[in-house]
Structure 1
C-alpha cells in the first residue's frame, strides 16, 4: 500500500501502435529534417564560397586539365546545382523515412502479438 502523498506508480504496456499516426508524424518530421538539410547545404555552400574554395578548385582544374574534360565537373560547383541535389536527396529521404517508420510500426504490432509489448512505468507526482 502506498503512503499518502507518495507518487503513484502505474505499470502500462504498449500493445499496439497506430500505423496512420506513425505515418503522419514521420512524414512531418522527415519534411522538417529535409528543409533543415537544404538550408544547411545552402549555408555550407555560402561559407565555402566565401572562403573562395570553389574558385581555387576551378583554378587547379584549369591548370591541370588542358583538354577541358573536367569542365563538366566544374558546372556542379554552382549554388543552384548544390541546392537542387540537396532537394532531391531530401525528397528521397522523406519517402524512405516515412515508409520505413510505417513498416516498423506494423512490424512492431506483429511482434507484440507474439511476445508482448513494451512495459512502461509511469509516475504521477
Structure 2
C-alpha cells in the first residue's frame, strides 16, 4: 500500500513541476530573468540564457529522478515503520477495543 501511495505522490510531483514550469514560462518569468541578468552583467560576447539551466526537459527529467528516489525511500521507510509498529504492538499488547450495541 505504501508503494502505491508513494508512486501516486511521485507522479503528482512530476505533474506539479511540469504545470508550474509551464505557468512560469507563460507568465514570462524566464525572459525577465534573462533580461535582468543581461542588464546586470552586460556581457555581449557570452549572453546569459536561463533556459540552458532551467529548460523544460532538464527540469522534468530532474523531477522524475527525484520522484523515483522518493518512491524508493518512502516505500522503505513505510515498511520499516510498519515493522517497528508491529514489534512494539506485540511487546506492549497494543490497544484493545470492544464495541457493543446498547
Q: CA RMSD in A?
A: 2.4
Judging by fraction of residues, say which structure has more strand.
1
**Which of 31, 34, 38 is residue 62 of structure 1 equivalent to?**
38
In the comparison of the two structures, how many residue pairs are matched?
99
Q: Where in structure 1 are there 5+ consecutive unaligned residues?
A: 1-24
Judging by fraction of residues, say which structure has more helix.
2
Matched, 1:30 2:6: yes
Matched, 1:112 2:85: no
Bigger-Rg structure (1/2) = 1
Matched, 1:40 2:8: no
Deviation per CA, 1:96-119: give whole Å up to 9, x if none. Answer: 100000000110111012212244
Deviation per CA, 1:65-107: give whole Å up to 9, x if none. Answer: 3385x94865222111111111111011101100000000110
TM-score w.r.t. length of structure 1: 0.68
Deviation at 1:123, TM superposition (A): 7.3
Matched, 1:99 2:76: yes
Greater length-normalized contact order (CA 8 Å, ≥ 6 residues apart): 1
TM-score w.r.t. length of structure 2: 0.82
